[in-house]
Amino acid sequence: MNNKTSILNKLNQLSEQDRAMLIYAHQNDIAQYVILADNTFIGTHCANVPHLNVIEHYNDWYIGTMMVVSQPLINNQQLVSI
Over residues 59-73, the pLDDT tens digits come to 999 999 988 655 555
In this structure, are residues 64 and 40 in contact, taking their beta carbons and an 8 Å threshold?
yes
- Which residue range is the domain that position 38 belongs to? 3-78
- The β-bridge relationship of strands 77-78 and 73-74 is antiparallel
pLDDT at 13 over 50: yes
- C-alpha of 41 from chain center: 4
Q: Quote the percentage of the chain above a pLDDT of 90.
A: 57
Give dist(CA 4, CA 75) in Å, integer: 36
How many residues are present in the chain?
Answer: 82
Residue 1: per-residue pLDDT: 60
pLDDT at 29 over 80: yes
CB atoms inside a 10 Å sphere around CB 23 = 14
Global pTM?
0.76
Over residues 36-59, the pLDDT tens digits come to 888 889 999 998 888 899 999 999
Tally of domains in the chain = 1
